[in-house]
Amino acid sequence: MSQRLKGKVAIITGGANGIKGKVMGIGGASARLFIQEGATVVIADIDKNRGGETAAQMQEISTGPQSAIFMQLDVSKEDQWSELVQAISGQFGRIDILVHSAGNSHTASVENTTEEEWDRQFDVHSKGIFLGTKYVVPVMRKSGGGSIVILSSMDAMIGASGGTAYSAAKGSSRTFAKVAAIQLAKDKIRVNSVHPGYTDTPLARAAIERITSDGSIDPRISRIPMGRLAQADEIAKAILFLASDESSYVTGSELVIDGGVTAQ
Ligand SMILES: NC(=O)c1ccc[n+]([C@@H]2O[C@H](COP(=O)([O-])OP(=O)(O)OC[C@H]3O[C@@H](n4cnc5c(N)ncnc54)[C@H](O)[C@@H]3O)[C@@H](O)[C@H]2O)c1
């Protein structure tokens, strides 16, 4: 392996789905790639069981001094971010990379979206990104810079037919990335957003099973010019590029990885 992240410390939120032999999430696939590339990885997720198992497996594939640990975090809670960042900077002395990959999904029309669901989507996909960035930035600044990668969605570029609150929240994270990129450029902290299309992950499988449980055909494939779903590691490779120094002049940009869906 090329060790493109050698010596760096990375937090990956929503990284619990990285268990070998099971379908991986984008955060989980990124965690595997990051540790292979020499980073110490903190998997920060609400799910303690899967997160712990993923971190233990990562530790096994580590070939150098880098380690993988799990820390439980609800990204929407300010006190938890404060404690997490304090604990990581105490243990490792630095934070170089933050990948915001925590997510959930919800499909409902404008009229059928409840206030509670609207708030849940914004708590995770908007407030969680703001809070994590807010707490990590002072630590990154102290060690001379860093890279923040925000998992938005192609649904932030085009209207998704049913994901009212989800799409609106993803749109907010797209704009937040640009605001933060401008403010933090002077500190050598780069902020970029990634916009995946239909990706085969545990989260997406759960959502599609709700739609197809009555025997309906998966509506996604016919919309994709490439004719197939993305695998999580295809998104993770782009996240690795944005996290590494190879993208040293890339900030405030949006990388769409959708097999051509939004090109139509
Ligand atoms: N899968 C897709 O088709 C797709 C497409 C576009 C964008 N995305 C986005 O990419 C990101 C990763 O998606 P994925 O499909 O790989 O997900 P995934 O299968 O890895 O599941 C999401 C993870 O986030 C964690 N999580 C949920 N709420 C949390 C919270 N409050 N605090 C901490 N962790 C929490 C879950 O426990 C889970 O481990 C999400 O932001 C998602 O919206 C996914």
Domain membership flag for residue 74: yes
User: Given the CA of residue 74, which atom of ligand 1 is nearest to it?
Assistant: 32
For residue 8, pLDDT over 80 is answered with yes
pLDDT category of residue 129 using cuts at 50, 70 and 90: very high
For residue 1, pLDDT over 60 is answered with no
% of the chain surpassing 90 pLDDT? 88
User: Given the CA of residue 198, which atom of ligand 1 is nearest to it?
Assistant: 3
Domain membership flag for residue 4: no
Domain membership flag for residue 82: yes
For residue 64, pLDDT over 60 is answered with yes
Q: What is the 3-state secondary structure (H, E, C) of the chain?
A: CCCCCCCCEEEEECCCCCCCCCCCCHHHHHHHHHHHCCCEEEEEECCHHHHHHHHHHHHHHCCCCCCEEEEECCCCCHHHHHHHHHHHHHHHCCCCEEEECCCCCCCECCCCCCHHHHHHHHHHHHHHHHHHHHHHHHHHHHCCCEEEEEECCHHHCCCCCCEHHHHHHHHHHHHHHHHHHHHHHHHCEEEEEEEECCEECHHHHHHHHHHHCCCCCCCCHHHCCCCCCEEHHHHHHHHHHHHCHHHCCCCCCEEEECCCHHHC
pLDDT category of residue 130 using cuts at 50, 70 and 90: very high
Please give the model's pTM, rounded to 2 decimal places: 0.97
Question: Does the beta carbon of 104 sit less than 6 angstroms from any atom of ligand 1?
Answer: yes
Q: What is the mean pLDDT of the chain?
A: 95
Task: Calculate mean pLDDT across residues 109-114.
Answer: 95
Q: Which domain holds residue 216?
A: 9-263
pLDDT category of residue 211 using cuts at 50, 70 and 90: confident
Domain membership flag for residue 1: no
CATH code of the domain in which 218 resides: 3.40.50.720
Is residue 166 among the annotated active site residues? yes
For residue 243, pLDDT over 60 is answered with yes
Question: Does the beta carbon of 129 sit less than 6 angstroms from any atom of ligand 1?
Answer: no
